Structure 1
Amino acid sequence: MTKVSAKSQKNYLFKLDADQGQIIWESKKLRIIPIENIKELRSGSDARYYRQQFQLSQGYEDRWITIIYLLDGQYKTLHLIASSMDIFQLWDITLRKLHAIRQELMTGPGNEEIRHTVWIKQCWKSAGESNDQRLSFEQVEKLCKRLNINSSQEDLMRLFASADAQHRGYLDFADFQTFVKLLKTRPEIDLLYKKLCSMNDGKLTLSVFECFMRDTQKSSLTQREIESLFVRYSTRTSDGRGTSSTPDLSSLKMSLDGFTAFLLSSDNSAFIGQNGKVHQPMTHPLWDYFISSSHNTYLVGNQLVGSSTIEGYIRALLHSCRSVELDIYDGEHEPVVFHGKTLTSKLSAREVCEAIMKYAFVTSPYPIVISAEIHCSLHQQDMLATIMREVFGDALVCAPIEGKPLSGPLPSPEDLRGRVLLKAKNLYVSESEPIREWDLMLDTESSSAEASASDSEPMREIKEEFRKVKLREVEAVKELKEEFRKARNVFNRVRGRHASPEKSLPRSESKPEQKARMSVALVALLVYTVGVKCRGINKKELYASEHMFSLSETTMNKILKQGADDLIKHNKMHLVRIYPKGTRVSSTNYLPHRYWAAGAQLVAINWQTFDLGYMINHAMFRRNGRAGYVLKPEVLRKTEDPRKSDKEHFHHHKQYNLDVTVISAQQLPRPKDATGREIMDKHVDPYVEVSIHTPDKCYPGSSSSFLSTSSASSASSITSHVHAHRSVTTMRTSSVKNNGFNPVWQETLRLPFECVGDMRDLVFVRFTIQRDGESDGEPIAVYCVSLGSLAMGYRHLPLHDSQVSQYLFSTLFVRCSVQDA
């Protein structure tokens, strides 16, 4: 196929290895793309954006394949043109099917038989040179070394001899499967199984299993559901299937294989809500939800010289982001999107809107909020409004929906399924700008005149009604301002300091200013998300239910330093957006749970930067079926329950201990070089670090740090501190020397933490597997989860790389429990 880049077009031989799960080609060196690293496949018209970028003929479109993947921590693209339609269809169909299988395996635990089959084929293929191969002991020993299996030659020889039942001196594929089964034995599970069986004459019966589920796993399943699980894993045959007959529960017992299969299954998922379905009610007003939000969505690099691309929007939307940002400036012909006053490249606003519309509801059906900063002229604002109406069509909210007037609560995500909302600052209601009725009238007349030629009679009537609504809103704000001016003068007279004549005049009369005017066509698109300037958060300042403002993290930190009470109360009935400060030029992220804890709904992060802030955001929005909307804790929502006031909730501080027994890990990944090949000569001496992250002190009575006096294992170390607006406690295990295949620790760590208002959803736990001596380097694997979503008891945690992409075979076996301190 022809590999296309901005600089050249060259022909290469591409190979698709299904067993190894790789795309392979050789240019100056061997190149490899693991199929599980592929983020998206585009072909035909879906990849038109790139074909047009390279200025290639439309004749190539029906043979074009674009592969977007992650390698060495970076997003990369591979553009291919197949030499014929037959080759294109063969590659497109096969690659999509293989990718779908890998993606299914990477959704979490479960599918253990398929996962094992994929892994064993991968090992078999890499151990020899042909499909009809026979493995000698030397080849098996070499394979074990590659897998970082730390067994002595004597132990390997013993396992090899046991698998070579016919004493032929080699292993065929069936023998190799036996060898792998022996190699993957789990003595730590065997020990747990025997401990449970000792409770009932050496048998794991239903009563023992039920006690295990209730007391250790903290299961909320019904009696019947537990019985169904017990039957399922007690009647499994050697091939993993169940029996067809109805068993007698009293005579059943669960075998070690059945118990192991249960612990590894999706029925014992570490993540509560692993079924991937939306399980929270979606009928609350928008302000009752945390909303997955992106900052500078158009960037894939840093804020000064990074590239602006529609890829940023596509990636965010496909990961269920529900609020994207546009910074809009005048373009040569139409408005453009880029980061103002920087060297970042520019995008057509129309192309951005088309990408948003195409990918908006692929992952989640719930509404998209476009947060726009408008820096363009009145004429191009009109063009922007036209573009949005043309591209989004009926999906664009340009008037209140039926039953949800502006005077009442905001609509719910369910009310707005499949809809697009525009949020921008309305200069006519923003306190930062003087209001001039003649300015508004001029804009209205101009826009009406321009639109009259093309608008239908019903549309002109709708626009006329909307113009009247906006005028009434302007008049209401003017009256409020006048009342405020009178009240201020009365206050000054009472104190004996009469206001000067100049100060008593409205600002527009005392000091004429040139106001940045705003297109009424654009104002008409602001319905439930009307941007206004924050005039303060207190009882004196009143905001309409549709008014929302944006605060930088710097401003937000100042507010929180003074106390979060007023802000929390405001956020119960208004939307607020938080964004990173401008000095984060390398696009790093703050920790979003600090601002979620104050009730802020749209806490925007830089999705192009894979740091701890990104990881916590990812962990939050894995919840609720990846809908991009997560219901806020009850204490942060407006409820009708009068029994407890907000202050009582937030004065309720409780200390806990998170006890984590780090038991073992399975098949840790080897480090890879920049081409995707494993580094074979690098030893892995893994240890596990567990950290718990809580929102810092912004509530009355919260403790800046809390250390338990309880002892942890002697091999562990503990640190606890409050730093850069975060509270974190960290502990680690000892290291296991040269074993990345099945290291066993069996160490218990105790992490103290404080929880306010019982908001465990805003406490995050991160498990990090590091190489001993390389604590500052790239971790081997990570897993981050909200404590409210972490299932207790014995669980296998799926492990991810630093870009939060799941490893196909790697897991960490732990036992977790939360105890009162």
Structure 2
Amino acid sequence: MTKASAKESKKVTVRIDADLGQIFYQSRRTRIIQVENIKELRSGSDARYYREQFGLSQNTEAKWLTIVYVIGAGYKTLHLISPDVNTHHTLDITLRKLHAIREELKNGSGGLEMRQAIWEKQYWKSSDEEKDRNLNFNDVEKMCHRLNLDPPRDELKKRFKAADEERKGTLDFAAFRRFVKALKARPELEQIFNDLTKGSEGRLTFPLFLNFMRNTQKAVESEEDLRKLFVKILTAPEQIAAAVKHFISFLSSQENSAFGEEPRVWMDMTRPLSEYYISSSHNTYLVGNQLMGTSTIEGYIRALLHSCRSVELDIYDGDCEPVIYHGRTLTTKVPVREVCEAIMKYAFVTSPYPIIISAEVHCGVTQQDMLANIMKSVFGDALVSAPVDGRPKIGVLPSPEELRGRVLLKAKNLYVSESEPFHSKDVAVDIDSSETTSSSEQDVLSDVKSELKKVGHKVLGHVGSHRVSFGKHTHISPPLVSKTSTNSDEKDKKKVKMSYELLALLVYTVGVKCRGLNKKETYAPEHVFSLSENAANGLLKDNMMDLIKHTQNHVVRIYPKGVRISSTNYDPHRYWSAGAQLVSLNWQTCDQGLMINDAMFRRNGKAGYVLKPQALREAHKDLLVHRTKHCLKVRVISAQQLPRPRDSQGREIVDKSVMDPYVEVSLLVPDWTQSSFSSSESDTKYTPASGPQVGGATSARVVSNRTKVVKNNGFNPFWNESFSLPFDYVGDMKDLVFVKFAVREERQDNDEPLAQYVIPLGCLRQGYRHIPLHDSQLSQFLFSTLFIHTKLVSRV
């Protein structure tokens, strides 16, 4: 096939191994793509953006396939042009079917036997030299090392002989299956079954199962539903061996998953927009850092396919039509029209609920008119608009259900914003631009120094005339970091007129200046103001109850401060606890903040809209001062097939050592005690948030504990350690508390976990559960799980 890129197109040979779940292609060296790491397959016209970027003819479109996948810490793309249409069709169909199978396995719906069969083939065929021959003892010893297991040699020989029933001295595939079956035995699961059936001679009856589900698993399903589940999992209840097998299979199945909500939209979607958290992105066009990253439609596609419902556009005058980029930086530009076409194409693939386009409009009136016409032509009837004169007054915001399939534009209405007199004191809470911060100049310079060091010296080599140094007197020229203080005379000079064409598109999301939160200031239901995290932190400290009251009927957007040059994120639940709906994150950076966001919006069928807790939707102050103390009791029992790190070509890094893993469990709690929720007492059992924090204050309270280290076993480490994590929450808002499981390696130099998983406490089903594990890009490992037991109790 032809591998296309911006630099050159060249012939490559592509091979697919269904058993290994891998795509191989030869470039300078053999590259590997794991099928389960594929995020999207785009064929034909769906990949037109890249074809046109590379300047290739339209004749290639019918034979074009773009594979979007993740490896290590980032997204990659592979563009393949088949020699003919039939070959393209075969490749396209094959990869889509293989990907669907791997997704089933991730979700637990593929069945235990199917998972086992695929795993066995994968390791039987794990290297070319072992593919067509039996395994001797040395082969098995090497295989165990690849499996991240280093058992004593005598024990391994004993297992080898037990599997070699015909005494051949080698293992054929049937003997290999016996060997790995013994290797993958789960005595901890068998012990649960034995304890459960101790008084019934090993027979699992429905009363015993019902008792287990009610008291251990804290199941809330009806007795009838639990009886159906019992019949489903125990197809041979009279045979004890079969009952053990089916019960163990149940504990690993989707019916017993840790995430306790159905994969469908189940929340009431008929409430006003202000009553929902809305999945939101910041600087969506960037796929790199804020200073010199690439602007592309790819950021919009990725966000929308992950159920993001609010995307950002920073719009400036272009040569012919408006363009999008990060102003006063070295980022590249992308035409508005291309971005709008991408948004329209992907807007409702994952979720049918409304898209909010948060636009910062910096272009003149002529190109504002162009912008409005581009949006009307691309979005058509999906775009919400209304005549400027005579539009009806809105008493309450419409619901997500009423706005299904619609596109809303949010931009600042200058005729509303500029009609108010400007006061310099407003700067602290009135910043509707990601280029501006509300900190003092000294604070900004300190933050920028810290962030530039994270981005690295590579950036400094491209800065050119923009002088940056890390000496005693750091200087940042205006093109790199925009103003940190505003003079009213300067502001008057920079006023931009607004197009009436654009004004007609501002209906339910009208950007306005925040004039403070007090009884003297009134806002229409459609008025939306934006706050930088610094401004929001000030409100949380001094006026949190006023902000909560405001967000009951009005939408507020929070965004990261402009000096987060390396595109880091805050923890969003800090602002969700104040009722803010549009808490925007840098989706190009998969850190703890984005993981919390992903966990929150994994709920409600990935609709991108989650109903806020009752305490934040209704004017019940008594709910907000009701603070309760709890304890999460966690038993970390075991892990299964922990992943090895991979190199940049997708190959597992197999060195001489076998990992020594341990597990860290953390509760991430909104800082209730630093807000209006605070009680007179303090709880000293909390620890500060771990990890680097930009700009000082932490976003959450963290309480954590960890297991001991298991030596030389990343295949089936067994801890069986218990600990208690004390915490509190306000107004029964446990959905704003998140649990983070991180598997770490004792000898690892950096702070990056081997695998991790974040889940809202309100969704974590208690009892015995298998936790799926994710990599640094939120891709789920196919066979890696963590087996735990949890119990939530109140404490006095």
Q: Contact 1:633–1:759 (CA<8 Å) still a contact in 2?
A: yes
- Partners of 1:704 and 1:356 lie apart in 2 by 49
CA, structure 1 residues 659+524, in 2 after alignment: closer, same or farther (shift >3 Å)? same
Deviations 1:164-199 (A, max 9, x none): 333333322222222221111011112222211224
Of 701, 717, 733, 2:678 maps to: 701
CA, structure 1 residues 513+612, in 2 after alignment: closer, same or farther (shift >3 Å)? closer
Structure 2 length-normalised TM: 0.87
AA at the equivalent of 1:742: N
- Partners of 1:776 and 1:415 lie apart in 2 by 48
Name the residue aligned to 1:674: 648
Q: Contact 1:199–1:208 (CA<8 Å) still a contact in 2?
A: no
CA shift for structure 1 position 514: 7.5
CA shift for structure 1 position 67: 1.2
AA at the equivalent of 2:399: S
CA, structure 1 residues 254+213, in 2 after alignment: closer, same or farther (shift >3 Å)? farther
- Partners of 1:434 and 1:378 lie apart in 2 by 23
Unaligned runs of 5+ in 1: 237-246, 436-507, 639-644, 709-717
CA shift for structure 1 position 672: 1.2
Name the residue aligned to 1:618: 598
Name the residue aligned to 1:317: 304
AA at the equivalent of 1:365: P
Counterpart mapping for 1:647-726 below 5 A: 647-681=621-655, 682-696=657-671, 697-702=674-679, 706-707=683-684, 719=687, 724-726=698-700
AA at the equivalent of 1:266: Q
Name the residue aligned to 1:12: 12
Q: Contact 2:689–2:699 (CA<8 Å) still a contact in 1?
A: no
Of 556, 569, 572, 1:589 maps to: 569
Of 411, 423, 431, 1:424 maps to: 411
Of 572, 577, 584, 2:552 maps to: 572
Q: Contact 2:757–2:774 (CA<8 Å) still a contact in 1?
A: yes
- Partners of 2:728 and 2:151 lie apart in 1 by 43
- Partners of 1:704 and 1:782 lie apart in 2 by 33
AA at the equivalent of 1:785: I
Of 603, 608, 616, 2:583 maps to: 603
Name the residue aligned to 1:153: 153
Name the residue aligned to 1:339: 326
- Partners of 1:201 and 1:117 lie apart in 2 by 32
CA shift for structure 1 position 96: 1.5
Name the residue aligned to 1:505: none
Deviations 1:197-223 (A, max 9, x none): 224444322111111111111100111
Name the residue aligned to 2:181: 181
Q: Tell me, what secondary structure is at the counterpart of 1:428? A: helix
AA at the equivalent of 2:665: V
Deviations 1:453-491 (A, max 9, x none): xxxxxxxxxxxxxxxxxxxxxxxxxxxxxxxxxxxxxxx
- Partners of 2:108 and 2:268 lie apart in 1 by 24
Counterpart mapping for 1:713-752 below 5 A: 719=687, 724-752=698-726
Name the residue aligned to 1:140: 140
Identity %: 59
CA shift for structure 1 position 523: 0.5
Name the residue aligned to 1:763: 737
- Partners of 1:44 and 1:720 lie apart in 2 by 51
Name the residue aligned to 1:206: 206
- Partners of 1:253 and 1:226 lie apart in 2 by 22
Name the residue aligned to 1:801: 775
- Partners of 2:510 and 2:40 lie apart in 1 by 35
AA at the equivalent of 1:307: T
Name the residue aligned to 2:784: 810
CA shift for structure 1 position 764: 0.5
The farther-off stretch of 106-115 and 537-546 is 106-115
Of 501, 504, 510, 1:521 maps to: 501
Q: Tell me, what secondary structure is at the counterpart of 1:412? A: coil
- Partners of 1:813 and 1:533 lie apart in 2 by 50
Unaligned runs of 5+ in 2: 423-487, 691-696
Q: Tell me, what secondary structure is at the counterpart of 1:66? A: strand
CA shift for structure 1 position 120: 1.0
Name the residue aligned to 2:440: none
Q: Contact 1:127–1:140 (CA<8 Å) still a contact in 2?
A: no
Q: Tell me, what secondary structure is at the counterpart of 1:106? A: helix
CA, structure 1 residues 763+336, in 2 after alignment: closer, same or farther (shift >3 Å)? same
Q: Tell me, what secondary structure is at the counterpart of 2:514? A: coil
CA shift for structure 1 position 555: 0.5
AA at the equivalent of 1:670: R
CA, structure 1 residues 570+599, in 2 after alignment: closer, same or farther (shift >3 Å)? same
CA, structure 1 residues 721+320, in 2 after alignment: closer, same or farther (shift >3 Å)? closer
Of 777, 790, 801, 2:764 maps to: 790
- Partners of 2:184 and 2:74 lie apart in 1 by 33
- Partners of 1:703 and 1:335 lie apart in 2 by 54
Name the residue aligned to 1:407: 394
Q: Contact 1:423–1:526 (CA<8 Å) still a contact in 2?
A: yes
Deviations 1:661-713 (A, max 9, x none): 000000000111111111111421000001101111213334786256xxxxx
CA, structure 1 residues 775+790, in 2 after alignment: closer, same or farther (shift >3 Å)? farther
CA shift for structure 1 position 653: 0.9
- Partners of 2:420 and 2:496 lie apart in 1 by 8
CA, structure 1 residues 721+579, in 2 after alignment: closer, same or farther (shift >3 Å)? closer
Name the residue aligned to 1:266: 254
Name the residue aligned to 2:42: 42
CA shift for structure 1 position 655: 1.2
Deviations 1:110-168 (A, max 9, x none): 63222222111101111664655322232222211210123223322333333333333
AA at the equivalent of 1:659: K
Q: Tell me, what secondary structure is at the counterpart of 2:304? A: helix
- Partners of 1:313 and 1:761 lie apart in 2 by 27
Q: Tell me, what secondary structure is at the counterpart of 2:568? A: coil
Structure having the higher Rg: 1
Aligned length: 716
CA shift for structure 1 position 252: 9.3
- Partners of 2:510 and 2:382 lie apart in 1 by 18
Of 547, 556, 573, 2:527 maps to: 547
Q: Contact 2:72–2:777 (CA<8 Å) still a contact in 1?
A: no
Structure 1 length-normalised TM: 0.84
Counterpart mapping for 1:478-557 below 5 A: 515-557=495-537
Q: Contact 1:233–1:254 (CA<8 Å) still a contact in 2?
A: no
Q: Contact 2:633–2:725 (CA<8 Å) still a contact in 1?
A: yes
- Partners of 1:721 and 1:337 lie apart in 2 by 35
Q: Tell me, what secondary structure is at the counterpart of 2:726? A: strand
Q: Contact 1:320–1:626 (CA<8 Å) still a contact in 2?
A: yes
Counterpart mapping for 1:228-247 below 5 A: 228-235=228-235
Q: Contact 2:688–2:698 (CA<8 Å) still a contact in 1?
A: no
CA, structure 1 residues 330+748, in 2 after alignment: closer, same or farther (shift >3 Å)? same
Q: Tell me, what secondary structure is at the counterpart of 1:670? A: coil
Q: Tell me, what secondary structure is at the counterpart of 2:292? A: coil
Q: Contact 1:293–1:603 (CA<8 Å) still a contact in 2?
A: yes
CA, structure 1 residues 106+201, in 2 after alignment: closer, same or farther (shift >3 Å)? closer
